[in-house]
Amino acid sequence: AQSVAQPEDQVNVAEGNPLTVKCTYSVSGNPYLFWYVQYPNRGLQFLLKYITGDNLVKGSYGFEAEFNKSQTSFHLKKPSALVSDSALYFCAARMDTGRRALTFGSGTRLQVQP
Amino acid sequence: GAGVSQSPSNKVTEKGKDVELRCDPISGHTALYWYRQSLGQGLEFLIYFQGNSAPDKSGLPSDRFSAERTGGSVSTLTIQRTQQEDSAVYLCASSSNTGASYNSPLHFGNGTRLTVT
């Protein structure tokens, strides 16, 4: 079975500071990993994905994510947070074979203070 | 171009009534997913359609839930005899099936907020 864990319900960071939103996964086979963002009263928007290759993936809005196979982690990062980054962030995973449905984490609310 | 469209955006129903939720995927997307998002929870997979293949229904929580996808496009999620625990936001997503479809990102609609009183 595949599972995704986001250990922090909320992350608070000051504007201009770097941010990290944590994600660990458990899938058999090679993982495909994704980050999505959800703004209030909106659907989820795709941020970035990891398939294979470089362990540092760059995505939309200046976000990037670091894949670490030994730690089975895929943490979302941004060098300098903006107030407008405040939203709900979801990590998701699926295996490279078999079930195609994405398994999502429980979400982390990012609050960036001015 | 147009994104994934869901209707209604809000639905309030009485316990025991049936409801139908509609999803219009992005044109040309062959994969369609339904997820449920409860307050304070992550996204719970419900059902997945891919082309003409048999749908993956493994996430449906009970036999009161069913879904159809007509003509490979529009999908309807039906909940019979609604219960209060069915209250949630129901999200639909679609993705393309070109190349390695396992890595195609999902495009989500804005969801239908269902409240069962």
Mean pLDDT (chain B) is 90
Band of residue A29 on the pLDDT scale cut at 50, 70, 90: confident
| B50: contact with A, CB 8 A cutoff | yes
Question: In chain B, which residue's Cα lies nearest the Cα of A104?
Answer: B43
Question: For residue B102, what pLDDT is reported?
Answer: 65
Neighbour tally for A35: CB within 10 Å: 27
- CATH number reported for the structural domain that contains residue B74 in this entry: 2.60.40.10
Residue B83 falls inside a structural domain: yes
Nearest-Cα distance to chain A for B28, in Å, is 18
Question: In chain B, which residue's Cα lies nearest the Cα of A96?
Answer: B102
- The mean pLDDT of B95-99, rounded to a whole number, is 68
φ, ψ (nearest 5 deg) of residue A85? -80, -10
The residue segments making up the domain with residue B86 are 5-97+108-116
CATH homologous superfamily for A3-113?
A: Immunoglobulins (2.60.40.10)
Residue B28: pLDDT over 70: yes
Out of B45, B100, B110, whose CB is closest to A101?
B45
Nearest-Cα distance to chain B for A14, in Å, is 24
Question: For residue B98, what pLDDT is reported?
Answer: 56
Residue B102 falls inside a structural domain: no
Percentages helix, strand, coil for chain B, rounded to the nearest 5?
10, 45, 45
Residue B33 falls inside a structural domain: yes
Residue B89: pLDDT over 80: yes
